[in-house]
Chains A and B, each alone.
Chain A
Amino acid sequence: MLLSLAKQSLLSRKKTVFLTFMSLTISMLVLFGVEHIRLQAKESFNRTISGTDLIVGAPSGQLNLLLYSVFRIGSPTNNIKYESYERLENHALVNWAIPMSLGDSHKGFRVLGTTNAYFEHFKYGTKEPLVFADGQPFETLFNTVLGADVARELGYRLDDDIVIAHGIGNTSFQNHTDSPFKVTGILEPTGTPVDKTVHVSLEAIEAIHLPPHKVKALVENPQAFPLEIDSVTAVLLGLKTKFATFTLQREVNNDPKDRLMAVLPGVALSELWKLVGNVEGLLRAIAGMVLISALFGLSTMLLASMNERQTEIAVLRILGAGPYKIAALIVVEALLMSAAAMVTALGVLSLSLMVLKKWLAAEFGLFLSANVLSQEQFVIMLLVMTASLVTSLIPSFEAYKSSLHQRLSK
């Protein structure tokens, strides 16, 4: 009865109720949006690399090495000697090694020089391997394997000829048409930066940096002359046993022949979270304050309506409603509005994520799920309802007081 009374009462004040409802909805949209993106971004980063025990690169920040080699963001690191990769690959503790050579692009997508070990050993998410949607790994020099997004967005199919040039960016001055690559494979989508990567062999990376006449010679005959690989950007290592991780890390860091640095992906990621933790906290605080201000708006609306509702309260009193019931009516009204705003906000958030999913992935590399309900979100929903309850006590107390002093006639 109280619930239907509260509902009818809110419906009778459509204009103020609607405006308050809008402000509540928008503020909850901000709160749940921030929280969802925060959780999902973390998950999306965490799932990008899995099963790799060490990343070896030139000494720089461990975070920088991780971001550049795995996420393809941040500033380029120095290269390490190719012999260092060979030594690591043959190391007694190492199970597999994936060399990575970065620094070039194809129509805005990064080009990664690697070996077929990449398709065999690279894992993401919960140790999921890369799967070919079409085709196979590269076999000869001018072969390439495309990430799912690259193929989809550029409209490439198997056996298409594409041009890969030196440099990063959409338009390159050294963009020459005489280094044609054949697409031999297209990968299944992974929801990681792999989808936005053009994979070629290490030799191919060397080839595209050659002067045009040499490239031409190679195109005509790939065996025209031997290609010397002298450096790689980073090496991903999988060890035979996890216990060897720290031993090998120390050994690599103290390598006498090359200047190397080995980082544990998990440790580097946690450094990243520490770094963005402050920004996260700030965003959450802002979202929280926006919500609190909206709740005060709700409180104000209910409080302001108290004057026009004196007769209504008088009628309820005379029918035998005690002051507590009238106070409860106000609380129920507030909670009804909050709940309605919450459902709307979550619905709108989920819907807009569904629509914007692709764009967010393309533009920011954020792979967000449209399912906005998580355990963390439930905690926040509970907090929101509690906060609504607490702020509604202000107008509710006012209703209690005024119903105590309510007279039958004026």
Chain B
Amino acid sequence: MHNYAIEIDDVCHSYGRSPQATTFRLPQWHVEKGDKVFLHGNSGSGKSTLLNLLSGVLAPQSGSIKLLGNNTTALSNAKRDLFRAQHIGVVFQTFNLIPYLSVKGNIELAVHFAKGNTKGAKADVTQRMLSLLDTLKLSADILERPVKQLSIGQQQRVAIVRALINTPEILLVDEPTSALDASARDAFMEELMSTATASQTTMIFVSHDQALSAFFSNHTDIQAIATLSNSAQGGA
């Protein structure tokens, strides 16, 4: 048996129940543990649907999604939420952080929701927080600052710290550099890659910016593995 981080089998998800609803189909896809996948494709090709399904925010109507050997589609909603908190880190395009909390508050929130995670006591969390900040070239005094005072670049780095604080096995990243300028983008990418490599995290990096593909060895075109169609036409 092969040790995959992600195994998708015959997944089908429709938005809504009407015959005109858009349907996402993905027959087969797997990702090796520790792999870093550059997932590209035009907008509207189903990239964010796939991310929603992987994170467990969406549950597919049929098919199975196995993450780290666990069939998450068979889990209850609450268990899937907990699985996400403990095993999956997510970095969005923008708005990764809760604006009214401090940097520390945001990171601690991630720890709080992953409760039951035996990976660390409080001292470990602080230790990990500091070492992640250090890797991402953020100073420790940023912790007490309100998120609102940070630049976009800093916010995105804090988002990575937040996403990795529970040492997740899988990291989902969605266009994190779209709000950054070119130099900030490259610095950010290098830090992201090195941090993820150091922690041997499996990473799915979604972007339509081909310039970023150079950072990855595994390139996957979403259109090659999945179809997003209007079922009225697709089903006929």
Contact = CB atoms under 8 A, between A and B. Distances in A.
- The answer to whether A and B come from one shared complex is yes
Interface of A: 1, 5, 8-9, 11-12, 311-312, 314-324, 406-409
Interface stretch (B64-72, B85-93, B124-132): B85-93
A120 B19 CA distance: 94
A321 B57 CA distance: 11
B42 interface: no
B77 A408 contact: no
Interface string B36-64: 00000000000010011001011000000
Contacts of B96: 315
Contact of A318 (B48, B58, B86, B90): B90
A408 B95 CA distance: 10
A5 B48 contact: no
B114 interface: yes
A409 B175 CA distance: 10
Given A316-B113, A409-B48, 14 more contacts: A9-B100, A312-B99, A315-B98, A317-B81, A318-B55, A318-B84, A319-B162, A320-B82, A320-B86, A322-B77, A407-B52, A407-B57, A408-B51, A408-B90
Contacts of B85: 319-320
B57 A315 contact: no
B213 to A, nearest CB: 20
Looking at chain B, what size class is its interface with the partner chain? 20 to 34
B78 interface: yes
Contacts of B30: none
Interface string B93-109: 10111111100010001
A177 B92 CA distance: 93
Given A311-B95, A322-B81, A408 B52 contact: yes
6 contacts: A311-B95, A315-B98, A318-B90, A319-B113, A408-B55, A409-B175
Contacts of B7: none
A317 B162 CA distance: 14
B100 A409 contact: no
B145 interface: no
A8 B100 contact: yes
B95 to A, nearest CB: 4
Contact of B48 (A11, A311, A316, A407): A407
Nearest to A313: B98
B30 to A, nearest CB: 21
A406 B95 CA distance: 14
B81 to A, nearest CB: 4
A324 B82 CA distance: 13
B112 interface: yes
A194 to B, nearest CB: 59
